[in-house]
Structure 1
């Protein structure tokens, strides 16, 4: 595997990359991750079974889009590829550091600036991608409430049902989600898509984002994800609000947007999330 990877990295770099050191590093629950080095640089490499190449290719696409931000740090994509049995993604290796209060404030401002990328007039993306290991459909839509109800909640609810989870009347939940969001038609923003604390850090004092699930949608979905499991420092939200004030209606929509990620965790990790999803569905959409 490593010989094939080093050859493909060499082609991408335009020079020989001969691995002189390799160490396993933390890379999440889905892939294996490594720091590899030659005598010139270090790279971060994720590997998985060869049939997972499309996960890496869509991640690379998202990283390249995020890298267009003039202020955020995003790891440079070196290449994607596969060996006989493995797929891989090679990225620039970055040294992370904790953020100060001022740096969290700046990251909030920088995210708001990213969300001001309104180059698309519709919601979706030019390809389906992945949220974790779950397929994330991104068919373009002119209507936000329909897009989120059908391609986000509806998709996850159907996956949960297929896995045998007792999730209730899916058609009813989709209709009520669409009704709850009806009339909310935000400008489509470029989103990170999976913005929790484990997918952000700091590099030489600047905010860094990675592991995206990009699409164009309501900026509030990124903010809702940051608050779901472990809210970020308050300075982050102050910085965001200073650059682009958060709509007052966000507090009513936040739990709907968080439900998408709870359902994805149910589909990825199993029944420990079932009761939480059932309760949230009931609280949000029952009369």
Structure 2
């Protein structure tokens, strides 16, 4: 099921034989498997033959950065990454059994995410670029959130969508008007450590009810963009949001800002999938010019 070259690298790296392989979901772009090694250890493996070869290297760096913040969140331990001679990248990490939310789990998740966002840097961005899904994500540093949001989040994805004719010229031109209005829309916040791709498909509760997060696209950004992203595909529980806001209150008016923040993930999805995501982008930006 997995390429022989990956099997060999894993067995050498883990100093164990692979005794069992079971296919599991790897999301929309990767293949994945649950491995049982000699000695009983279970691992999660994902691989991709078409993505950039450093994609999993950047993911490993992101997971390690989140773990170094020591949040009250479960971050699966990464055992390593590699690339085959054919150019297939892979990542192997701790396998975490999915459980269920227990009494207090959403509240703990909200507090833990608020604590993660309190890990600060002086500038918005990161010391390296990475990926969101399979698309490159620029993290060039800026002193101001508005500049970072426009130059490193919106413009690259907007240009990609325009070049592929997934958005019309009228929609693209309206962004200029939106940019001019952002100083009156975004509140001032210091850069906080973000997961960067936090939606319902990138977390679950483990067997003890602890929130487990994975598949990050980390950077230091405005924490409201993270919370906006959690609302994009159905939202998290009311208890999660109440606990977050109790730990770290938001400036008034956040509900009216959510759609602007979510232009970034919607543009990403427009470039990946097109269709309804492009129409959502058009509807949001039309309000501003």
TM range (shorter): over 0.9
The answer to whether the 8 A contact 1:145-1:184 is kept is no
What is the aligned partner in structure 2 of residue 202 from structure 1? Answer: 205
Corresponding position: 1:124 with 2:137? no
Q: Distance in 1 between matches of 2:12 and 2:183?
A: 48
Q: Following the alignment from structure 2 to structure 1, what is the Cα–Cα distance between the partners of residues 220 and 262?
A: 17
- SS class of match (2:32): strand
Which string of whole-angstrom CA distances, capped at 9 and with x for unpartnered residues, describes residues 8-66 of structure 1?
Answer: 334544xx221111111011010001111112201101111165321111111110011
User: Pairwise CA RMSD of aligned residues?
Assistant: 1.8
Q: Which moved more, 1:168-177 or 1:222-231?
A: 168-177
- State the distance in 1 between where 2:253 and 2:177 align: 20
Give yes or no for contact 1:50–1:82 (8 Å, CA) kept in 2. no
Is there any run of 5+ residues in structure 2 with no aligned partner, and where?
Answer: none
TM-score (norm 2): 0.92
Task: Return the match for 1:273 from 264, 271, 277.
Answer: 277
Do 2:11 and 2:18's aligned partners in 1 also have CA atoms closer than 8 Å? Answer: no
Matched with 2:149 is 148
The change in CA–CA distance for 1:10 and 1:50 in structure 2 (over 3 A counts) is: farther
Structure 1 equivalent of residue 81 of structure 2? 80
Summarize deviations over 1:131-169 as a string: whole Å, max 9, x none: 111111110000111110121111111110011123336
- TM-score normalised by length of structure 1: 0.92
Deviation for aligned residue 1:178: 5.0
Distance in 1 (CA, whole Å) between partners of 2:76 and 2:145 is 30
Give the structure 1 partner of residue 265 of structure 2: 261
Number of residue-to-residue matches in the alignment: 282
Please name the residue that 1:137 is paired with.
138
The 4+ residue runs of structure 1 with deviation greater than 6 A are: none
Cα pair 1:79 1:91 within 8 Å, conserved: yes
**Partners in 2 of 1:171 and 1:55 — Cα distance?**
32
- Name the residue aligned to 2:36: 37
Q: Distance in 2 between matches of 1:145 and 1:62?
A: 23
- Within 2, Cα distance between the matches of 1:94 and 1:100? 17
Change (3 A) 1:50 1:18: farther
Aligned pair 1:190/2:189, yes or no?
Answer: no
Aligned residue number for residue 57 of structure 1: 57
Conservation of the 8 A alpha-carbon contact between 1:193 and 1:215: yes
